């Protein structure tokens, strides 16, 4: 918590948090979001605990992990790893199961 080492690595942070040591196979969170959308794996509405939450901040697609009740954890747009209220980050978001089809 509070580290800035993961500032631009939101996808890598989540991949490693879920135990996937190898690369996800996606170039960045925008690439991942496009792949998930193409495979109809995105959902709308309240994200359940453990879901990946995809949102846009400062013209970048970012991803965080849902803690439930509208809270998320991960590298935040402020540059630090932390927890925050999703509504304060973005009003337009989608979520998916923690799916890393190319990770090992």
pTM, rounded to two decimals: 0.86
Average pLDDT over all residues of the chain: 85
Q: What is the mean pLDDT of residues 29-41?
A: 93
User: Which residues have C-beta within 8 Å of that of residue 41, sequence separation ≥ 6?
Assistant: 96, 97, 99
CB contact at 8 A, 14 and 65: yes
Where residue 69 falls among pLDDT bands split at 50, 70, 90? very high
Say what the pLDDT of residue 95 is: 95
């Amino acid at each position: 918590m509070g580290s800035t080492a993961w500032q631009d690595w939101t996808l890598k942070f989540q991949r490693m948090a879920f135990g996937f040591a190898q690369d996800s196979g996606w170039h960045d969170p925008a690439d991942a979001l496009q792949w998930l959308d193409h495979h109809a794996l995105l959902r709308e509405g309240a994200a359940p605990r453990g879901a990946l939450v995809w949102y846009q901040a400062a013209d970048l697609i970012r991803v965080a992990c849902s803690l439930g009740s509208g809270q998320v954890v991960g590298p935040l747009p402020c540059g630090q790893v932390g927890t925050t209220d999703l509504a304060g980050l973005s009003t337009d978001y989608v979520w998916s199961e923690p799916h890393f089809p190319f990770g090992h």
